[in-house]
């Protein structure tokens, strides 16, 4: 019994000791010490006296996550698996089957096989659902089943998967996988180079540098840098990429924190490749963090024209802190500011509404800053492009469709029903296809409860308790019916945007991501606007005055 008690209290006592020996306390020393002591004694009493057996690890995991969820979503506890995933994200290298995979309870779904990597060579396609790895059923594996696909280069793994209802098997020879930061670069015409930068891992600068030099050698006199959908990554890589286009010694980012040592100023350190070449940067709502540092600093310095839709608005900087047993705490340490002095953080996680949701900074509260040439730019809501493309705003219903994988699933079914498309560059969905997609949603029982519906249902429940429901039942039914009609109308209003999402996924399934970028060069609206701006020196110059 004594041994059991010692085992149960070991974790909190160890944490307590390490905290005191490894933390520099200031004025709040007593309060922190007090709260740790309270928690330690609570944890001990709970483990020793609770009526049922408890799992100390699970309790501590819940306690940590509950504590952190009241902060911003970027401050996270990372277990050993999370640390490894972060390493892969930052380096772009791992050993496995070479595919983007979504993990579900009973299967691993292939979202995107990477061209010429093991999964692709073994014949796996988007939509294939792996249900068994070797002799292990995915649904019975308590750990992360995706880890079973990793292994030494050259080793083989057998997978059993379902495709369109049929069960098949494949032997996949694992290999080293390199996820490129720049998955594509090419000329879109004789003088316009196109660079896609999809992530800021530790190869982002080197690959962007190579792409820029190669395109200039091919004759590029102007550049489109595509940061759409790029969620960010390493700060130093972002600064070095800006340095490709601006002089040495230029201020790019300032970080400010309550901890003095995290107050930093970051300047460019190298000689640039080209400070004169006309440059357009494409961004959208998926461009965040390091993407916003690149686009925001180039905008502030009047070095590029920004085209697209407003960026995500993440102005917070994180740093990993090593903990014990191979774990880490990724913690927000500071805010970053672009050269003009603006912080583009869009959500205020420290002032929440009555539902506990972070409050978005209101446009009337934005502050005005000036670019190098005196143009007005604003903080508080991401990077606002110099040329806004009126992409349809993602409504809550559209987000729900995407999150439920209905875009992906429809595209997968479309691919198998239309396997005879020969010229994908001329591919275009029709009104009939959109009607078919809406039928697909209905047949898959897509349902989405709006906040309005939730509020009406709450009113109806209260009315029942007060015995007033008979008087308002008819009106309630009418409102719900009208709401259903409104949902259908929202789909129609977002028709163009939905068709873009569907087209992108379908094209990718036919010709991989590489082919999708080729498709963009002739069909993407943002690309066309960017190219037109660059073709006219007068138009380009007007944006930067």
**pLDDT above 80: residue 26:** no
* Length of the chain counted residue by residue: 545
**pLDDT above 70: residue 401:** yes
Helices (H), 355-468: 396-403, 406-417, 431-443, 451-465
82 is catalytic: no
Strand-strand pairing, 279-283 and 305-308: parallel
Q: How far out from the chain centre does Cα 204 lie?
A: 17
Task: Specify burial of residue 409 (Cβ count, 10 A radius: 0-12, 13-18, 19+).
Answer: middle
User: What is the tens place of the pLDDT at every residue in 281-317?
Assistant: 999 999 999 999 999 999 999 999 999 999 999 999 9
- Helix, strand, coil abundance in the chain, percent, nearest 5: 45, 20, 35
Are 8 and 48 contacting, i.e. CB atoms less than 8 angstroms apart? Answer: yes
**pLDDT above 60: residue 7:** no
Q: Where are the beta strands (DSSP E) in 135-191?
A: 136-137, 156-163, 166-173, 175-178, 184-187
CB atoms within 10 A of CB 420: 5
189 is catalytic: no
User: What is the tens place of the pLDDT at every residue in 209-248?
Assistant: 999 999 999 999 999 999 999 999 999 999 999 999 999 9
Phi, psi values for residue 485, rounded to 5°: -65, -40
Cα distance between residue 287 and residue 306, in whole Å: 12
Q: What is the DSSP string of 281-303?
A: EEE-TT--THHHHHHHHHHHTT-
User: What is the tens place of the pLDDT at every residue in 117-142?
Assistant: 999 999 999 999 999 999 999 999 98
373 to each of 23, 208, 367, 386, how far by Cα in Å? 46, 27, 18, 14
Q: What does the pLDDT read at residue 61?
A: 84
Cα distance between residue 146 and residue 103, in whole Å: 7
Longest CA–CA span in the chain (Å) reads 83
**pLDDT above 50: residue 8:** no
Q: Which of 72, 300, 386, 524 is catalytic?
A: 300
* Higher per-residue pLDDT: 478 or 275: 275
Cα distance between residue 411 and residue 433, in whole Å: 11
Q: Which of 289, 297, 311, 334 is catalytic?
A: 289
- 168, 151, 150: which is closest to 159 by C-alpha? 168
Q: What does the pLDDT read at residue 365?
A: 81
DSSP state of 275: S
Are 208 and 242 contacting, i.e. CB atoms less than 8 angstroms apart? Answer: no
* Mean pLDDT value across the chain: 89
528 is catalytic: no
Q: Which of 132, 314, 330, 508 is catalytic?
A: 314
Strand-strand pairing, 358-360 and 328-337: unpaired
């Amino acid at each position: 019994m004594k041994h059991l008690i010692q085992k149960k209290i070991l974790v909190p006592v160890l944490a307590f000791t390490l905290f005191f020996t490894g933390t520099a306390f200031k004025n709040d020393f007593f309060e922190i010490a007090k709260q740790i002591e309270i928690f330690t004694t609570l944890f001990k009493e709970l483990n020793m006296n609770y009526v049922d057996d408890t799992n100390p690890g699970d309790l501590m995991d819940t306690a940590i996550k509950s504590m952190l969820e009241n902060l911003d979503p970027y401050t996270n506890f990372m277990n050993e698996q999370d640390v490894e995933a972060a390493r892969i994200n930052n380096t772009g290298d791992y050993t496995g089957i070479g595919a983007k995979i979504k993990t579900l309870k009973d299967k691993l779904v292939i979202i995107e096989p990477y061209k010429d990597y093991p999964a692709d060579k073994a014949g796996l396609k988007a939509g294939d659902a792996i249900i068994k790895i070797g002799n292990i059923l995915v649904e019975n594996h308590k750990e992360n089943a995706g880890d079973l696909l990793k292994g030494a280069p050259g080793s083989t793994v057998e997978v059993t998967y379902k495709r369109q209802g049929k069960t098949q098997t494949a032997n996949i020879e694992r290999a080293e996988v390199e996820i490129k930061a720049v998955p594509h670069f090419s000329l879109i015409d004789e003088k316009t180079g196109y660079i896609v930068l999809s992530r800021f891992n530790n190869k982002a600068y080197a690959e962007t540098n190579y792409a820029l030099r190669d395109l200039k050698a091919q004759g590029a006199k102007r550049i489109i840098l595509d940061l759409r959908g790029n969620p960010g990554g390493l700060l130093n890589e972002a600064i070095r990429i800006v340095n490709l286009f601006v002089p040495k010694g230029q201020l790019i980012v300032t970080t400010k924190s309550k901890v003095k040592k995290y107050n930093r100023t970051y300047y460019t350190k190298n000689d640039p490749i080209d400070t004169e070449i006309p440059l357009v940067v494409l961004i959208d709502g998926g461009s965040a963090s390091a993407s916003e540092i690149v686009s925001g600093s180039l905008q502030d310095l009047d070095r590029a024209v920004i085209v697209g839709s407003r960026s995500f608005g993440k102005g917070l900087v994180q740093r990993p802190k090593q903990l014990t047993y191979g774990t880490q705490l990724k913690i927000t340490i500071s805010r970053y500011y672009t050269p003009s002095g603006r912080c583009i953080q869009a959500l205020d996680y420290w002032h929440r509404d009555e539902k506990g949701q972070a409050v978005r900074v209101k446009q009337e509260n934005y502050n005005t800053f000036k670019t190098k040439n005196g143009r007005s730019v604003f903080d508080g809501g991401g990077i606002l492009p110099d040329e806004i493309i009126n992409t349809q705003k993602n409504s809550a219903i559209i987000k729900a469709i995407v999150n439920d994988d209905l875009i992906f699933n429809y595209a997968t079914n479309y691919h198998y029903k239309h396997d005879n498309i020969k010229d994908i560059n001329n591919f275009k969905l029709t009104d009939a296809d959109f009607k078919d997609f809406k039928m697909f949603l209905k047949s898959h029982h897509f349902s989405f409860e709006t906040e309005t519906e939730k509020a009406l249902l709450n009113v109806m429940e209260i009315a029942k308790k007060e015995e007033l429901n008979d008087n308002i039942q008819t009106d309630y039914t009418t409102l719900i019916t009208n709401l259903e009609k409104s949902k259908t109308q929202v789909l129609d209003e977002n028709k163009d945007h939905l068709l873009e999402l569907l087209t992108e996924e379908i094209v990718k399934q036919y010709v991989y991501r590489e082919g999708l970028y080729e498709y963009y060069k002739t069909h993407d609206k943002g690309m066309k606007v960017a190219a037109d701006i660059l073709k006219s020196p007068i138009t380009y110059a007007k944006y930067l005055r």
